[in-house]
Amino acid sequence: MEAAFAPVNKKLKIMHQTHTLSNGLRIIHEPSRSEVLYCGYVVCAGTRHEEENDSGMAHFIEHLTFKGTTHRKAWQITNGLERVGGDLNAYTTKQETVYYATILRQDFRRAADLLTDIVFNSTFPQHEIDKEVEVICDEIDSYKDSPSELIFDEFESLIFPNHPLGRDILGTKERLHEYRTADALLFTHRYYQPDNCVFFVYGNVDFNRIVRTLEKLTEGIGSAEAESVPRLQQTTATIEKPREAVTVFRHHDTHQAHVLIGSRTFGGRDPRRYGLFLLNNILGGPGMNSRFNLSLREHAGLVYSVDSYLATYPDDGLWEVYFGCDVADIERCRRLINKELRKMVEKPLTQNQLNAALKQVIGQIGISDDHLEQHAIGLGKTFAHYGRHKDSRQVVEHLRELTPQQLQEIAAEVYDVNCLTTLVYN
């Protein structure tokens, strides 16, 4: 099992290196021997950092950073890495916005220059805003046409009511049409500052070179004027879990019902998250032998797929299980889900069951580490939010320390069927 956590190049010892520039920019590097290099910025500005009347602003900014800077026009950004075979991309979450590039190692400076330019020097011209708003509105419409995706957004609003974590990442059409250049600049002056960002690199490049490159590229960025614009603090208000089961039905003209069942859970700093991660993998993880899959699909033939997920933020979390089925089978599927949850709560795993579950999840972690782009992004996000590097070996150590009794206690807290929230589209 240990071999799953050896570096891709076994002769290469993993040595994470970190540095903080004088302007506050944090840098983290993990070496590899590949000729391909992954790098980017994690900006600690997501949906939860928006003001209440700035719905969709973080995602809106992500789109607009590609539309021109003080040094580049939009077409120059589009072609900046493509012309050397590289790739430039970005995405927004509730917690952060990530800009990242995949290039050959000799093109590192080109990528760092382009990424730094769009993150810190975007100008948000109004004519580009007017065009891009329509693109985002089409994106909103595409979600409305896909109930299997739309249901996740509405479910989060039920789990995190009147809280930024419950807001839709895309925002609303009405508010998007009101945004102007000044709105975008205000948000970026507040959050798109070096001391609110992490630059990550996974690849075969000298760390001192990385530091020197970023020092030069970010020289003069991080003005006193920007510091005078206060940032919204990450909301940590207590969110009460329901004390009884809550079920919400929404009518959608679809061929099958879409169902989400779940609960608020632990944050990323809570040590119980390791146990919940393992329990979730047993119940509804990617393996075909997950208990939900065996019960609902293999034994009962009620669904095509059933999966459970964990969304973890530094201070909070969400567990949910999704399935689609015939409308007539909704209640039967819910009973089978509840049956598996009660088993976890009422009866601890045997040591043999725990050992088998550990063997499976450890193998999955090892395989996931070979998805290099996601590994690189995880490196940056972990450092941005927790101040440490991503270490699969430590995760495995924590998992191996778990006992059946600990897992049963966690299950009792999260999987109480009398306190779960259910959202049904039918």
What is the predicted pLDDT for the residue at 10? 42
What is the per-residue pLDDT across 28-47, written as a single tens digit (0 to 9) for each?
A: 999 999 999 999 999 999 99
Task: Please determine, for residue 344, whether its predicted confidence score (pLDDT) is greater than 80.
Answer: yes
Reported as a single tens digit per residue, the pLDDT across 129-167 is 999 999 999 999 998 889 999 999 999 999 999 899 999
Give residue-wise pLDDT tens across range 268-325.
999 999 999 999 999 999 999 999 999 999 999 999 999 999 999 999 999 999 999 9
pLDDT band at residue 3 under the 50/70/90 scheme:
very low
pLDDT of residue 1: 32
Domains of the chain: residue spans and CATH: 17-218 (3.30.830.10), 246-425 (3.30.830.10)
322 in Cβ contact with 307 (< 8 Å): yes
DSSP 260-273: EEEEEE--TT-TTH
> What pLDDT, on the 0 to 100 scale, is given for residue 7?
39
Quickly state the pLDDT bin for 6 (edges 50, 70, 90). very low
Joined tokens for residue 251:
């009518």
Q: What global pTM score does this model have?
A: 0.92
SS (H, E, C) 294-353: HHHHHHCCCEEEEEEEEEEECCEEEEEEEEEECHHHHHHHHHHHHHHHHHHHHCCCCHHH
